[in-house]
Every structure is written in structure tokens, then in C-alpha cells.
Amino acid sequence: MRLWRTNIGILAFGALAVSASGQKAPARPVEGIAVIESVKIQKDQSVPGFVPVEVRLRNVSQHDIYGIRLDLTAQYTDGSTRPEVLGTDLLAGYLPRGEHEVGPQSAQLATFRSGETWQGRAEVHLGPDGAPPVGVQCQVTMVAFEDGTAIGSSEAIERLTQMRNAELDLHANLLSDFKAVAAASDPIQGAERRTKQILAEAAANNDKHVLRSGPTTGTTSISWRAQHLEGVVASARGNAEILKVIVADRVALEEAWVKALRNQPTLKEKAQ
């Protein structure tokens, strides 16, 4: 389980809520920005030990929302409660999408513009008796805006900043990969050379690349980049001209990612 849902899944942050039992103190609710319209406990249990809860919100502010955190409290038949957290970065929904994208993608590339609604999905623990909660309370505790500012939980703001810093490193690497292929006279051979270079880098670094992420660091698999590049090449079905078009799209997409993430290196906290 991971705390934050990432934009395209490259870092495998996941899309599930996690227990917030280690949180030192409840975060203050953010009011007058995103109004909760409904909280619905679903019947399907696709994840063992958890039940999905869908939360629908409306953006009543004058600003587009680029990230949000919800603090949930599940209530069970025996009277016990359990805190849960759902954090979502929506930056991907505002970026131009490449026509020929392949590889891991988010199931939801949503935006949350002023006046619009947005629906999030959290996985909440089953109760001590294995039954779903009888109720779930929900509060908005952090909101990030399009201008790089945020309001609410300092811990959530810091976590979102760390995740975006890590994503910036990864997208910068992907941009270098696709630019190397685009510069080759034969893109198929260029992709093969780049794949070998990535795998050699992976072997030299025990297949782990340290990502800058604010005060902490994270790791991701270097060889994943090679697998991703191989998937792009496979999508062209051996046609060099098609591969050129696909790679040009990916260069544009990764440039957009890097630009967007560099524009928000550290979220600035607004006073409530």
C-alpha cells in the first residue's frame, strides 16, 4: 500500500489508500475549497482485507486543484474506528497527452477545475470481524493549486513535494532516453543502443537509481527504463518511420512533464 497515487504509475506509488495509524495528530480540515458531496462504501472487495470507498467532491474555489488529500475515519460494528488516508496528485490530467503513449498509465487522468466534480477511490480496512465499516467520515486536509501553492497539512504538502521531485528525476531520464533515440539516423538501432546503455547502467548500480526527493530519497529500477523503451519500439512493429513519430510524441510529452515539475519544485504553503 502507498500513500500517494502517482500520475502515470512509473514510480509505482500505487493508487490505494493506506492506514494513517502512525500519524501523530489529526490534520485540520481545509474548508471552502473542495466540498464533499458523497461518501459511498462499495460492495466489491478486489483487495483482500479492504473495501473500496468512493468519495465525490466539488471544487467550489476559484482555482484549479492539482493535488488533494483526504483523511477518512472508518467506523465499525464493534464501535471501533480506524483512520485512513487518500492522497492524489492530479498534475498529469493538466498535461498534453502523447498520441502514441505506451507503458504504465494511470487509470484516471482527471482534472479538478473550478466548479467541477472529482471522484476518488480509497481502499479502507475491513473491521476486526472481517466486515466492512458501517460508516466512513471524510475530511479534506490538503489542497494543492495550479500556481504551486498549497493549503492544509504540512506533512501532506511535504510528501507531495517529495514525490514530484522524484518524478522530475525519472522524467528527466526518460527525456534523455527518447532524445537519444530521436537523434539516431535509424531509430530502431538507436533504441537498441540506448537499451544496452541503460542495462549497463543498471548492472553497475545494482539496478537501483537513487531519486532526489526533498529531504529523503527513494529508489526505482533502472532496468524498468529499458523495458519501457523496448515496449515503445515494439509498438512500432518494426517500422522505423512509425517509431520516429512515436518517439517525437514522447519527447514532447516528457518535455512537458519536466517543465511542469520544474515549475513546482517546492509547494508553498498558504495560511488557512
- pLDDT band at 19; cut points 50, 70, 90: very low
- Judged against a pLDDT cut of 60, whether residue 101 lies above it is answered with no
Is the model's pLDDT at 206 over the cut of 90?
no
Domain boundaries, the chain: 4-151, 161-268
Residue 77 has pLDDT above 60, yes or no: yes
Summary mean pLDDT of the chain: 81
Residue 22 pLDDT: 38
Please check the confidence at residue 23 and state whether its pLDDT lies above 60.
Answer: no
Residue 187 has pLDDT above 70, yes or no: yes
Residue 133 has pLDDT above 50, yes or no: yes
Q: Is the pLDDT assigned to residue 21 strictly greater than 80?
A: no
User: Is 4-151 assigned to CATH 1.25.40?
Assistant: no
What single string gives the DSSP state of each residue in the chain? --SEE-SSSTT---S--EE-TT-SSPPPPP-SSEEEEEEEE-S---STTEEEEEEEEEE-SSS-EEEEEEEEEEE-TTS-EEEEEEEEE-GGGGSPPPTT--S---S----B-TT-EEEEEEEEE--TTSPPPSEEEEEEEEEEETTSEEEE-HHHHHHHHHHHHHHHHHHHHHHHHHHHHHHSSSHHHHHHHHHHHHHHHHHHTTTEEEEEETTEEEEEEHHHHHHHHHHHHHHTTT-HHHHHHHHHHHHHHHHHHHHHHHT-SSPEEEP-
> What is the average per-residue pLDDT within 86-93?
88
pLDDT computed for residue 25 by the predictor: 53
List pLDDT tens digits, range 237-246: 999 999 999 9
pLDDT at 1: 25
Mean pLDDT of 168-182: 93
Q: Which of 21-25, 72-76, 204-208 has the lowest mean pLDDT?
A: 21-25
Cell numbers found for residue 186:
535509424
Mean pLDDT calculated for residue range 61-69:
93
